Amino acid sequence: MSVRAKKIFRDVTVNKARSLLIVFAVAIGVAAFGLMLTGRIVLEENLRDGYAATKPAQTILSLSAFDDDLLNNIRELDYVEESFAFRLDSARLQSSGDVWLSMEIYTLPEFDSIPLNKLNSEDELTTPPLNSIYLERSLNNVMQVGDSITVELLNGELHTLTVVGYVNDLSRLPSEISLTGVGYISLETAEELGFENQYNQLAISFVNAYSRAEIEKETTKLITEIEDANYFVLRASIPQPNKYVLGDNMTSVLFILNALGILTLILSAFLVTSVMSAVMSQQIPQIGILKSLGARISQTMSIYFQEVLLFGIIALILSIPMGLIGAYFLADGVATGMNFDVTQFYLPTQTLILQAFSALLAPLLASLVPIISGSRITIREAISNYKPENTKSASRFGDLPQLVNLSIRNTFRRKGRLILTFFALLLAGAMFIAIIGIRQSMRNAVAELQGDLNYDISFDFAQAYPIESIEDEIEQVNQIESIETWAVNDARLVINDEHQTGSIIMYGVPEDTIMAQPAVIHGTWLDENITRGIYVNADFMDLSPNLKIGSVITLNINGKQEEWTIVGSGGRGFIPTAYVFYDDLTEQTGLDGFANRLVIQTGQSDSVSQSRIQSDALSHLAENNFFVVNSQTTTQLKETTAAQMDILIILLLAMVILIAVVGGLGLAITMSLNVIERTREIGILRSLGAQNGVVRRVVIIEGLVIGLISWAISIPCSIPLAIWLGNSLGNSLLARPLDYIFSIPALLTWLGLTVFISIISSILPAQSAAKLTIRDALVYE
């Protein structure tokens, strides 16, 4: 073994604790970087490939009843690539006791060869037996395979079906979000339930249509041909091309993963800088000896760069499995929350290369300044290496107990190292405080954007009923304080004669409505002085780049085209939505005095009470031949939306924990280095009679001082971070920046965590200091 190799081996092994801390610091950062990178790649690829494998339909049309004749005619059109006809019926599913869930039942003519919007199943998908049903798997926490479920049809009939399996339908929102169960049955079961023996849904993909505008033009052409054949198109759903319904949520997740992975790597690099600065400071006498023996600056630098490289190689070996395991749990958790499968999990070559690059290069770059600075020292400077401590700062704390004064003085002796240690803890604290505030901001924003849900329960009818009849019946249900009846209709935005968009949901509300109060982001709410004014959400505004407040637009409603003026817009939902006055809408539909939506206020804010009143109302309406296709309580809807947003918050908090670990590790490294550097001082304390407890307290108090200072500085630093995160996440998910909220509970919680981290990070160094004897101090090199 060469002299150089012996020195490197001795430097690495003489202080095993320090070497392990360096390796662990680099490994944590590189593992976190690999975790984020692998998680992002795996999630992105699995969602993209999984969604593409379902062959998503470009358009889904809801029609009046039709049979194979129309389907065959459509298949002969040269611009239609693929078509698939099926049936959709509404029902209610009894989830437990008196709790009923709105349900959509799809009747499929075939299960083993679905051409569009394919269903995924763990087992081979076959036609379910008579009186059996497949459920969309987002219901698997409610029912189990083999369970018998009760389904209530629109006519009030109750039927029992057996759950034969679960399928994953990526064309649908998960039931946890839509609050609507989804099931799939055979033609034979549909006949047993009394459904019509005809289709009412048509899924289409086109030959040369790729962008949304191209798909809309082809859909417009197809609708014209269908209506010329004397069929009526009720609705045209055109999803974003090649984009999963929760794609915006995934974009936000990937954005967070990228940012935090890089951030954690940078933090670990700072720790390496801190450690190598201390190492080079301690190695000055040895560097002087090397210089006296003729070592050049390049040779001295080479020794220490090789040490750092050795640490990086060991850290890389540890970080690869650590990052891979973390990425697996991350990808599985995110995919489960967004209702898709991770079918292919692997270590991407890109991740391996970047991890190797990071583990080897990042430590070298981080140690560049301390190694160059230390290697350039002259023999004279090395021999005369004595720097008296600055005691001025200590005098400022003269009124404090002597032990505390000593700890505070020690804290500020190595200001460069202190700053690097501060940074990691400060960042973790700022993120924790910001994220808890962001969580509340997101919930407030969702509640504000759900201002149109200023009611407790909604009922959507299968057809329009006279308003007077609806009011007479619902007033007989107990605990209903007030009601409103709305008109709901689909419309399509007319771009030109050959181009209309997919369907928009239009709500016709009373002019004096108190139950529709959406948050206005741009413009104003509806004004009775503006004829045919329309308020829209952000998804509506995305339909055309030319839309803005004040735009006069043409809407096709039931085949009639009229001009409307956009007066205001709000946040993002999942589908384009608009609000107009009831009279303006029914003037075009010809259904004045009729309504197909009922909303009520109960005065009850808890979901249990609202569900009970909902059940009573549904039973009473069904007994009097009012067929309800969908009903929801707003408490459930708001709780569900908030829970969906919490997926991002949980992910952010997981990253904060990781950063806090890096910060705690940095503090442990700092305290260990401080103990090593103050070996002689500890020996002096020992010679003056200091007991083990005194020595421990000096170290632990110093750690607490560092932690508490970082906590104090993290408070103002959390403000710009929260604003940046609020703008990024808010604009991505809700089409509006989030309002800044400073969370006092988060502040106090982080204070407690800071004290805990500081004590835990200082215990081992404190114990090490307590073990030092006077003899150890005398022989310290």
With tokens 């804290």, the residue in question is: 411
Same domain, 173 and 276: no
Backbone angles phi, psi at 521, to 5 degrees: -95, -40
Q: Do 661 and 760 lie in a common domain? A: yes
Domain check: are 23 and 72 in the same one? no
In a domain, 102, yes or no: yes
Question: Would 597 be classed as within a structural domain?
Answer: yes
From the list 201, 203, 183, 202, the residue with the least C-alpha distance to 193 is 183
CA distances from 406 to 181, 224, 575, 699, 756 (A): 66, 86, 64, 10, 22
Domain for residue 161, yes or no? yes
In a domain, 445, yes or no: yes
**Distance, CA of 774 to CA of 781 (rounded, Å):** 14
Quick one: 375 and 283 in the same domain?
yes
- C-alpha triplet 440, 430, 335: angle, nearest 5°: 60
Question: Residue type for 497, please?
Answer: D
Q: What does the alpha-carbon distance between residue 1 and residue 13 come to, in Å, rounded to a whole number?
A: 15
SS (H, E, C) 649-700: HHHHHHHHHHHHHHHHHHHHHHHHHHHHHCHHHHHHHHHCCCCHHHHHHHHH
| Structure-token pair, residue 128 | 């379910």
CB 445 within 8 A of CB 730: yes
Predicted confidence (pLDDT) per residue in 291-303, tens digit? 777 778 888 888 8
Asked if residue 92 lies in contact with residue 459, where contact means CB atoms within 8 angstroms, the answer is no
Phi, psi of 78 (to 5 degrees): -70, -20
* Gap between the Cα atoms of 121 and 117, Å rounded: 13
Q: Rounded distance, CA 520 to CA 533, Å?
A: 14
**Residues 493 and 581 grouped into a single domain:** yes
Verify that 555 and 655 share a domain, yes or no.
no
Q: What's at 568, amino acid-wise? A: G
CA distance 587 to 567: 19
Structural domain range at position 100: 59-208
Q: Verify that 747 and 718 share a domain, yes or no.
A: yes
CA distance 90 to 463: 12
Secondary-structure percent of the chain, ordered helix, strand, coil, rounded to 5:
55, 20, 25
Q: Is residue 383 part of a domain?
A: yes
Select from 490, 485, 480, 492 the least CA-distant residue to 464: 485
Choose the final residue of a domain: 371, 387, 403: 387
**Side chain identity, residue 138:** S
Tell whether 118 is covered by a domain: yes
* Domain closes at, from 350, 365, 387: 387
User: Would you say 424 and 666 are in contact if contact means Cβ atoms under 8 Å apart?
Assistant: yes
Domain boundary pick from 192, 208, 224: 208
How many CB atoms within 10 Å of residue 186? 22
Per-residue pLDDT, 643: 66
- d(CA 340, CA 302) in angstroms, rounded, equals 50
Please, are residues 360 and 316 in contact by the beta-carbon 8 Å criterion?
A: yes
CA distance 727 to 735: 9
The residue with tokens 């529709």 is 516
The span from the CA of 537 to the CA of 246, in Å, is 17
pLDDT of residue 143: 81
Contact between 758 and 707 (Cβ < 8 Å): yes
pLDDT at 773: 64
Give me the DSSP letters along 519-587: PPSEE-S--TTSTTEEEE-HHHHTT-TT--TT-EEEEEETTEEEEEEEEEE----SS-EEEEEHHHHHH
**Is 380 part of a structural domain of the chain?**
yes
Residue 395 has what pLDDT? 46
What CA–CA distance (Å, rounded) separates 270 from 276? 10
Closest CA to 736 of 505, 573, 565: 573
What pTM was computed for the model? 0.76
For residues 41 and 73, state if they share a domain: no
Classify residue 486 by its DSSP letter. Answer: E
**Two tokens at 459?**
């009922």
| Same-domain check for residues 649 and 756 | yes
* Structural domain count of the chain: 4
Q: Tokens in use for 755? A: 């004290």
Residues 259 and 281 in one domain: yes
pLDDT at residue 397, as a whole number: 47
Sign of CA dihedral 697, 702, 704, 705: positive
Same domain, 192 and 158: yes
**Parallel/antiparallel/unpaired status of strands 552-557 and 560-569:** antiparallel
The end-to-end CA distance of the chain, in Å, is 24
Residue 228 counted as domain residue: no
Whole-number pLDDT of residue 548: 94
- Do 269 and 374 share a structural domain? yes
Residues of the chain with pLDDT under 70: 1, 96-98, 248-249, 253, 257, 278, 282, 381-418, 420-421, 446-452, 640-646, 673-690, 732-735, 769-781
What would the 3-class secondary structure string for 120-180 be? ECCCCCCCCCCCEEEEEHHHCCCCCCCCEEEEEECCCCEEEEEEEEEEECCCCCCHHHHCE
Contact between 741 and 444 (Cβ < 8 Å): yes
pLDDT of residue 293: 75
